[in-house]
Structure 1
């Protein structure tokens, strides 16, 4: 070690902590977080102060932005020019600031995310609002500090009359913390501050009644109120914002969604691209075109809908998948006396009032000091005017001004300041009129001094001044709210907009659904052979027909075990011959998920006795069965809920609505079936996995179907993949405990192939059989005789090709009954139970 050197050993952990804390506090205080008093970060404060020093007020000509940036960089803010310029640009953008502080001329960007022009092309000057923030800055109202090179002074805070932190909000990311504060309406904010001044003990609830909610520059809706209330009470909350939309109909009868306002900070161009991408990827159905027709009169995004699309359904998908609905995470962290602090609404208001009180007090002291100085000079001038001849003689006799001042001080006992003022007095002030003016000014000044002293002595006078100045600001910048509030979005009931009309719901085998008014069937002229109820694809057919009213609920269960809801009025309306819409496009189902079961419930959640006495029984292909109370599903959610926790190698195959005493049958691919009463299956919560219903013969075996039978007159029909079927009495299946291996339901051979379906049937049913080759056949169940349980069964169809096999079997109503139902004859719209009418078929 070289002599004279000193090596100081330090703990690296402590040094790193200290250095990091110093760095983070520097970022927090000097860069990223706003001051609670004026709502400004240092760069914004320096830009406004620099523009004020340049004298570019709102009534003066614009100056080049480069000139302003150079002034701020060279004197106050030694950082990159882009940081200063973009800070100034943002203060000039009406879609970024609720009340802009800079009046810009030129290209200052757009709501589409376009960049502003270079600073050499744009010009700017102070906005009237900024002048209110800078008013009285020359009256010792705020502290000044030395700039970066100690050559000039800059303000540590602005003496703003406007609560800028509340009306314009702020955002910033520091080290270890961030802030995100929402903008508000000036009128509401001023009213809330005045209410606080009049009663410092006012509750946050009372303040919330006045200030209501944030008011974003781009308008739109605040959807739901809980997040707003949380942010006001705690300083943190999640405010949901939605675009403002209207639905129009063109001359051709097609609907359009018109977007006139978008959520705060959403890029309009990116929003349109996002919608177009979702349409191209078929994640949103029903949109034919998106066009931006915005102009100088305002924003207008036109979303053209396809003829069969339902505007409300498309709109809900747009809210879900695009930034047409987004959230503003409120995090009210600001610097209070140089330290970051999380503030609620009352804290923000009280700190601003405290700042204004400090400004008014300092301004009053300054004005009192200036008034007293002027009064002191006036006292000397009045003495001189009373003794003008002698004063002139003393001044004329003196050899120098200093000698004249000394002689005046000695003669009239004046101060140095008074004597200087007398010596520098102009000859015109010797006239009688000017002497009267001196006395009038002195008397007025003495009254002003007394008024200023009273203000300094009485708190209520200072508060009255703050109130009056706020009222003046409110009157000058009075502007209504832009963002509308949907107070009770959680309780909004769309049923109020739909009459409870009777409908026919048809669901096809390939998953197309529609609703048709019952009146359309009843009023048609039908012939002796009935009428065609729906046209489907060649390989498709009507699988389910439900009579329902507009306020009924349809429940959908997917193979992944999720449950979704659709109100009947949310189902697309179609005429008798239309195909309908794919269920996948109406629900928020994962792309790799499919609907496996449906059921209709009259008024889910309203009839408590019904929902607490009925159950949903579900079965999976691995033999799991689960029974849950219907009441567990009485709170619909847009994204669905977990109805059954399905293991990775399993999937739901069926779900039925039961009364708690149905007979349950599960059939496996290996030709075995088990029968037990559902009462022996314990009720499990909605997210549970269920219990074992049947033990499978091997790892390759699986359950092919489940039936729940209430009417013991129904028969059990099983079908194998090689075209064999067997109709047996339900009594042939003895009742056992759940979880067993079951009994033989069909003798499975190479000739019959594996079992593929089990259905409960009567003579009033038909079977729709689809082969793997795509051929669809319809067979009447009435033509099938009843046989014993353990037999091979009879051949239902002849397969033309050896490799061909049955793909699926579906139970539908007999053709004659189907026609009657589609005509609306004999339908029961009040029945809620699961197996009392022929429209409730297996799934």
Structure 2
């Protein structure tokens, strides 16, 4: 009973101190407080400097230890202890692994920490313990803490209120965009991709110039994410949605090449892998796919990567495997292709928000403007304080004798201090500064320096006040500082952008221009701007057109627009499609990329003809045009273009090729042309197109010309419009001889090449001798075009068609290019004439492989003019012809 009475008495005394609460409401409150703590204090980055608190504290701790890029390395454990003990009261491993990631080149697009020691690898190797590794700041990180001592950012108390730390860093770099961020909070997450610094800064400057810039215009500057491990971004729609809305999806592929060893065996070499993919795990996954028979055609896979040469995963193929098919299977079944969900969530004024690319830039620029204003105010305050002291010095110097006498007569410093203030009108600060002035400052030279410093400080004050009063000037400063950052740290994109076939709007991002497309004998393709090929005089040596292997040479060369589609025909009668802009761009001497990396050509097949198609979407266009295919044995096949208007990645059968035959040429017509076919022995046939009926895609076709000799074969086919009387037939022989001939004589109207039925033998089109070699090709040309000739050695020459003589069809022609012993012409093509001055020197390749220049038309002794030299060559040709006739 006594205990119950005591408890009742205690309850009566505590009544009013115990507050009854609803447990459900209390849990809600606690959970919201916890979630906001995680969101703000751990998982989401600040939109201004792009950092979470732990990253910010690591850099601030390194700054306080003076661990700069030009100072010695410090042990990682020292930095971890500094950060953990002063600012980040969490486990040491969380701080150390943050530092490690900031130093990994494959994890950060622009690393912030310079690490020395074992910091792990892309193969999943763990970093060494913090007692073994050393770190210091990168110069890139120093750009993020610059001006932090100029009152540019706010500070807050640390966890025990003993120190202060910055709430944000005054970064000059748009860190959140260039390095991205990822984190999982409570009820939300962020996953922001890294971007290229140069592109981001260009976008920031474009936004400063026009705050109302449209998002569609802005993404022309910031095209897509740019990953530290490179790779290929496949498809653009998901990327575009992320840039426009803040949410999207990016598909990333590894970069592959196909190599062939001396035995002709192919292997796929993976040189770049998708972001955040483990190389060892990828290799293991490919091995599992082989063992489980998911992918067929692979004999072995090895990870040959190292820190010096980078990523190299080699996939050995069986002889019967098609390399591009295997690559596509790897994309489908392994992490060689991955996708990332983009979710641009960041803290804006302490609250999480989804941001598109313009909003991210806007928030950063607004923050930079605030930093510039605060920095300018700080510098103005310091400048005014210094000017005030210098004005006190000047007052003292102007009254030097009186000041010295006053100080000597004063019994104490306090009396002197008050005397300077009362007698010379100095402030308390000025009076104190004058009393502390060293005697050496009273020399004549030092007095002049004081006056000069005052003049300079007054100019600085005027400049700083102007900055504070002029918003345009402040934004110009931001632009200048961004341009400086770009100049210091900007680089080229690492991730290539490849647009998916169903994305039509991508053409808006591709500049339309004419390019020269070349395909070598061994199947290397590239595109080069047509402006890179100079026009030269007939008879010249030419210029180096491509760096090919000794046994390789340029076999196909033509001009196309970057917005067009190429139809690629192989000697076995298959047809493939390739967008011109997808062809890798290279300079005139680069080798290019293996065509097997781009289309699924069988190892024993070869490209023989290419047609440039403007637009497959135009129904009227595809219904009124035809594809003509010609084989080596003289077969010709005609099909509607519409039959080829649905591209397939694996290709289609265009014509049935009989055993021993090959496809050699393809042309597109409007159905009303005349066809000319020529054979190696120098004969050509001309017949109307309507003599060939359309048999449809995949058929055999009909005979176009008779090929009756064992060593003879068809070398080319052209289609001509008879209404165009300006066109001539250009023929070129193996050893560099050629000429032009009108189809019909322009004066008499008589046919030089008579019209016959298809299937005949034809007539002579060029006189074939040992000096000329066999016929290699024919073209229909006008005088407004240029001719480009490529030799098997790689030498290329471009000349005006109008410089080539018009002759009758039975002559051998004139020398167009000097062909070295053992060399021969591999390909000819026509280009639109460019308004260029004729160049009398050309780049040639010496025997030792070096590049030299020499006169295009070597002038014999006594002939200084290049035109005279050309005439001399023609005279030599005439003399040789006379000699041959005499021998006959």
CA contact (8 A) 1:245 1:257 kept: yes
CA contact (8 A) 1:219 1:264 kept: yes
Larger-gyration structure (1/2):
1
Counterpart in 2 of 1:269? 280
Counterpart in 2 of 1:550? 574
- Structure 2 distance, partners of 1:233, 1:220, is 23
Gaps of 5+ in 2: 1-7, 507-516, 520-571, 578-598, 606-615, 623-641, 651-656, 662-692, 699-888
Q: How does 1:629-778 map to 2 (within 5 A)?
A: none
Query: How far off is 1:283 after superposition?
Result: 1.1
Deviations 1:224-256 (A, max 9, x none): 111111011000110110101001111111111
- Structure 1 distance, partners of 2:502, 2:518, is 16
Secondary structure, aligned partner of 2:89: coil
Counterpart in 1 of 2:706? none
Secondary structure, aligned partner of 1:7: coil
- Structure 1 distance, partners of 2:368, 2:300, is 53
Counterpart in 1 of 2:86? 75
Counterpart in 1 of 2:180? 169
- Number of aligned residue pairs: give it: 538
Query: How far off is 1:387 after superposition?
Result: 1.2
Deviations 1:694-719 (A, max 9, x none): xxxxxxxxxxxxxxxxxxxxxxxxxx
Secondary structure, aligned partner of 2:352: strand
* Residue 431 to residue 289, structure 1, CA distance change in 2 (3 Å): same
Deviations 1:477-524 (A, max 9, x none): 13111111113444699xx999xxxxxxxxxxxxxxxxxxxxxxxxxx
CA contact (8 A) 2:35 2:185 kept: yes
Secondary structure, aligned partner of 1:209: coil
Secondary structure, aligned partner of 1:145: strand
Q: How does 1:228-267 map to 2 (within 5 A)?
A: 228-267=239-278
- Structure 2 distance, partners of 1:334, 1:79, is 23
Counterpart in 2 of 1:60? 71
Deviations 1:740-781 (A, max 9, x none): xxxxxxxxxxxxxxxxxxxxxxxxxxxxxxxxxxxxxxxxxx
Counterpart in 2 of 1:452? 464
Deviations 1:183-213 (A, max 9, x none): 1111111111000000000011111111111
1:316 aligns with one of 312, 321, 328:
328
* Residue 308 to residue 429, structure 1, CA distance change in 2 (3 Å): same
- Structure 2 distance, partners of 1:202, 1:371, is 38
Counterpart in 2 of 1:397? 409
TM-score with structure 2 setting the length: 0.57
- Structure 2 distance, partners of 1:570, 1:210, is 34
Counterpart in 2 of 1:291? 302
CA contact (8 A) 1:223 1:489 kept: no
Secondary structure, aligned partner of 1:132: helix
- Structure 1 distance, partners of 2:341, 2:224, is 14
2:474 aligns with one of 457, 462, 480:
462
Query: How far off is 1:32 after superposition?
Result: 0.5
CA contact (8 A) 1:549 1:829 kept: no
- Structure 2 distance, partners of 1:220, 1:200, is 33
Q: How does 1:11-410 map to 2 (within 5 A)?
A: 11-295=22-306, 296-410=308-422
Counterpart in 2 of 1:557? none
Query: How far off is 1:13 after superposition?
Result: 2.5
Query: How far off is 1:399 after superposition?
Result: 2.9
Counterpart in 2 of 1:439? 451
- Structure 2 distance, partners of 1:439, 1:572, is 84
Deviations 1:386-438 (A, max 9, x none): 11122122222223322221121111121111111011010011112211111
- Structure 1 distance, partners of 2:576, 2:341, is 37
- Structure 2 distance, partners of 1:497, 1:438, is 71
CA contact (8 A) 2:387 2:454 kept: yes
Counterpart in 2 of 1:613? none
TM-score with structure 1 setting the length: 0.60
Structure 1 residue runs of 4+, over 6 Å off?
571-575, 604-608, 634-639, 820-824
Query: How far off is 1:15 after superposition?
Result: 1.9
Secondary structure, aligned partner of 1:289: strand
Please state if 1:481 is matched with 2:496: no
CA contact (8 A) 1:64 1:120 kept: yes
Secondary structure, aligned partner of 1:124: strand
Query: How far off is 1:22 after superposition?
Result: 1.0
- Structure 2 distance, partners of 1:430, 1:294, is 69
Secondary structure, aligned partner of 1:326: strand
338-347 vs 434-443, greater mean Cα deviation:
434-443
Secondary structure, aligned partner of 2:220: helix
- Structure 1 distance, partners of 2:575, 2:90, is 63
Query: How far off is 1:8 after superposition?
Result: 2.3
- Structure 2 distance, partners of 1:117, 1:74, is 22
CA contact (8 A) 2:576 2:649 kept: no
CA contact (8 A) 1:180 1:333 kept: yes
- Structure 1 distance, partners of 2:65, 2:646, is 63
- Structure 1 distance, partners of 2:365, 2:485, is 15
CA contact (8 A) 2:266 2:317 kept: yes
Secondary structure, aligned partner of 1:327: strand
- Structure 1 distance, partners of 2:220, 2:207, is 13
Deviations 1:589-615 (A, max 9, x none): xxxxxxxxxxxxxxx99999x9xxxxx
Counterpart in 2 of 1:424? 436
Query: How far off is 1:461 after superposition?
Result: 0.5
Query: How far off is 1:822 after superposition?
Result: 9.8
* Residue 289 to residue 442, structure 1, CA distance change in 2 (3 Å): same
- Structure 2 distance, partners of 1:477, 1:156, is 26
Secondary structure, aligned partner of 2:340: strand
* Residue 830 to residue 279, structure 1, CA distance change in 2 (3 Å): farther
Secondary structure, aligned partner of 1:253: coil
- Structure 2 distance, partners of 1:831, 1:14, is 77
Q: How does 1:583-598 map to 2 (within 5 A)?
A: none
CA contact (8 A) 1:161 1:470 kept: yes
* Residue 283 to residue 68, structure 1, CA distance change in 2 (3 Å): same
Query: How far off is 1:829 after superposition?
Result: 11
CA contact (8 A) 1:605 1:635 kept: no
Counterpart in 1 of 2:709? none
Deviations 1:534-570 (A, max 9, x none): xxxxxxxxxxxxxx963599xxxxxxxxxxxxxxx96
Query: How far off is 1:831 after superposition?
Result: 6.7
Query: How far off is 1:373 after superposition?
Result: 0.3
Query: How far off is 1:458 after superposition?
Result: 0.6
Deviations 1:319-365 (A, max 9, x none): 01111100121110000000000000000000000010000000000
Q: CA RMSD in A?
A: 3.3
